[in-house]
Structure 1
Amino acid sequence: MTNLLELYVKLVGLVLVGFILGRKLPNTVPNRLGQTLFWVGVPISIVAFLRQADLSGQIWIAPAIAYLAILLGAFLAWLGIKGQAYFTDTIPQQSTQGSLILAAMVGNTGYLGFPVTLAMVGQEYFAWALFYDLLGSLFGAYALGVVLASHFGSSVRSYWQIAKAILINPALWSFGFGLLFRQVQIPTVVEFCLEKLAWFTVALSLMLIGMRLSRLNSWHSLPQAGISLVIKMLLVPLILGSTLPLFGVTGSAARVIVLQMAMPPAFATLVIAETFNLDRDLAVTALAAGVMALLVTLPVWLWLF
């Protein structure tokens, strides 16, 4: 309970600071901060936290579970759309269907999932969250997510550009470097500075979420966004979380996986929605409502698992 309260103070406080700054600062600031974190901050934090992470056990099963969660979310969202059509005789527009499925598929397992995992489980099991995000959510969003978006949307984008965006992702390269760098002995003062820089990046990531939320002001799509959030943040973690012992994943490792599955929709869903002309309002509403809903659902998952 103490850890949870401390997390809420930091989480809400830093997001609120970012929200206030987002209202005051020029529009270019969040973009530049995001680029700095993407190219510099997040890679450094991955290298730093990997040095303290435990890579033993069935850690490679984390991305496999991530793909199961993504596919289950997409399937349940598809069932929801079919159920709405059957019971109400109304079918959402193609663009709305695409955004609804995307929001139910991919979670914010990086910028939000990492700090939550570090606070509630610790650095020892951080690698489970890292593998889930970089080898699961990333490809789920920019591979399967893009395929679905191109089907439901009206914009066409070169698939080579999508593949290139994945291949040059610095987080993936820093992940590989971090695995090798674990074996290198460095001075204690350098290790200390590296760890503090990593935690500073986590704080900036939460502030960036607040800055982006400060520019989201659409709520009329809340009922449909609620369908995606129930699937993404409740049904998928409950169904797959209950089966984790069958995969041999228990204890703190299972807690990390459940927390990652229970994260709200990723900002990548908004990027994809804008690129392929999906329902942007639905994507925006799901993002904002999901971050607020996390404050309610997080204690539930910690209690259940």
Structure 2
Amino acid sequence: MDNILLVFLCLIMGLGLQRVAAFPKNGHLALNQFIIYIALPALALYYIPKVSISTDLLYPLGIAWIGFVLSFIFFYIIGKRLNWPNRLIGCLTITAGLGNTSFVGFPIIQALYGEEGLKTAIIVDQPGSFVVMATLGIITAGIFSKGDPKTSDIVKNILLFPPFIAFVIAVVMNVLKVDFNEHFETVFQKLGATVTPVALVAVGLQLKIDRRSQHWKFLRLGLFFKLIITPAIFFLLYKIILGGKGLAVDVSVMESAMAPMITGAILASNYGLKPKLSSMMVGIGIPLSFLTLAFWYFIINTF
């Protein structure tokens, strides 16, 4: 519950700072860069060397990878048919294709399924959502921010993206079965823990609720896809078609129903992919998701 309270307080503080004259108007840009260059790499270096690789990863891993591909197909087809600008397609693909599987997901899963459920949630998040954001997310952002970028530019952006560099180092350490000593682990853990408050304050700084904004119709579609369509697809695939049972399957479906990823919105904003819409996807999506998560928990436990 502490994490959920933190989510709302940081959003509110970000909104409040918009009215503080002494706070820089573009202060969210500096916060975004702190997340990209320091906090996210620290998370990767702390968690990924500890991930145990096995076939049990398949269900939770599929949530992030399949979910992002579905988002790309859905919004690319609709966007092209309706002549949306590339930046809008890219924004919705990233924000609706990446779930908030840790900062909101972890406390909710722990409350509903205990420590065993949290182990599955970590698999959904670290080798799943985090890696998809650092690979497919960057590729998508690069393509839709420029329209027709060179392949070399995309590769360069991926290879020089700090979280991806940290991810590669962490994966090599995982394969070699080595980890940092306890002092470095403590430092990385504390730096990684700043992602939630800093990112949410940054989102709050950019969040502007304009009832006449043209973003509302796109926001409704994006959140409907993320909170309703995506978990419905995984429920049918995992529980009905594949006949999956057990805690890992239930936690995976619940994680697919989480609100848009905070750092996904930061990524979209950094690449100029409709920053206001990306902030609204997170700022409005998180509180709304508590209602839809209750619905999916009921469905999962009924069937």
Give the TM-score, by structure 2 length.
Answer: 0.72
Match of 2:103? 115
Listed as ranges, the matches of 1:74-93 within 5 Å are: 74-77=72-75, 92-93=82-83
Structure 2 residue runs of 5 or longer lacking an equivalent are: 111-117
**2:88 aligned partner:** 99
Please say if residues 44 and 163 of structure 2, whose CA atoms lie closer than 8 Å, have aligned partners that are also in contact: yes
Q: Give the Cα separation in 2 of the matches to 1:105 and 1:190.
A: 32
How many corresponding residue pairs?
A: 282
Partner of 1:239: 233
Q: Give the drift of 1:235.
A: 0.6
Structure 1 unaligned regions, length at least 5:
83-90
Distance 2:160 2:221 in 1: 34
Is the 2:60–2:249 Cα contact (8 Å) retained in structure 1?
Answer: no
In 1, the alpha carbon distance for the partners of 2:133 and 2:43 equals 18
> Which residue does the alignment assign to 1:58?
56
Residue 292 of structure 2 corresponds to 297
Matched, 1:68 2:66: yes
| Aligned amino acid, residue 285 of structure 2 | G
1:143 aligns with 2:132: no
Q: Does 1:169 align with 2:158?
A: no
1:227-272: CA deviation from partner (whole Å, max 9, x where unpaired) = 2221222111211233225296852465246425543274244555
* Distance in 1, Cα, partners of 2:119 & 2:275: 38
Q: State the partner residue of 2:223.
A: 229
- Partner of 1:12, secondary structure, is helix
Q: State the Cα deviation string for residues 187-242 of structure 1 (Å, max 9, x = none).
A: 656544543343234332333332332x5757333134312221222111211233
Measured at CA, do residues 81 and 251 of structure 1 come closer, stay the same or move farther in structure 2, by a change above 3 Å?
same
> What's the CA shift string for 1:43-98, capped at 9, x where partnerless?
1122223355444443256555434323333444467679xxxxxxxx74432x86
Determine the C-alpha separation between the residues in 1 that align with 2:294 and 2:92: 22
> Is the contact between residue 72 and residue 97 of structure 2 (CA under 8 Å) also seen in structure 1?
no
Q: Work out whether residues 99 and 269 of structure 1, in 8 Å CA contact, stay in contact via their aligned partners in 2.
A: no
How far the C-alpha of 1:41 sits from its partner, in A, is 1.4
| Residues in 1 aligned to 2:138 and 2:237: alpha-carbon distance in whole angstroms | 27
Letter of the 1:94 counterpart: W
Judge conservation of contact 1:33–1:208 (CA < 8 Å) in 2: yes
SS at 1:161's partner residue?
A: helix
Query: In the aligned structure 1, how far is the partner of 2:218 from the partner of 2:260?
Result: 15
Structure 2 Cα separation of the partners of residues 35 and 192 of structure 1: 22
Q: Distance in 1 between matches of 2:200 and 2:97?
A: 12
| Match of residue 87 from structure 1 | none
CA distance in 2, matches of 1:135, 1:188: 24
Moved more, 132-141 or 178-187: 178-187
Paired residue for 2:5, among 9, 31, 50?
Answer: 9
Query: Could you say what the CA RMSD is over the residues aligned between the two structures, in angstroms?
Result: 3.8
Look up the SS of the partner of 2:57 in the other structure: coil
Q: Residue 203 of structure 2 aligns with which residue?
A: 209
Contact 1:77 1:104 in 2 (8 A): yes
TM-score, normalised to structure 1, is 0.71
* Equivalent-residue separation in structure 1 for 2:60 and 2:296 (angstroms): 18
Q: CA deviation at 1:146?
A: 5.0
Q: Which deviates more, 229-238 or 177-186?
A: 177-186
2:205 corresponds to 1:220: no
Task: Give the match's secondary structure for 2:68.
Answer: helix
Q: CA deviation at 1:30?
A: 1.9
Q: Quick one: distance in 2 between partners of 1:129 and 1:92?
A: 33
**Would the alpha carbon gap of residues 202 and 79 (structure 1) be closer, same or farther in structure 2, given more than 3 Å must change?**
closer
Q: Please, which of 248, 255, 264 is the counterpart of residue 251 of structure 2?
A: 255
- The corresponding residue for 1:39 is 37
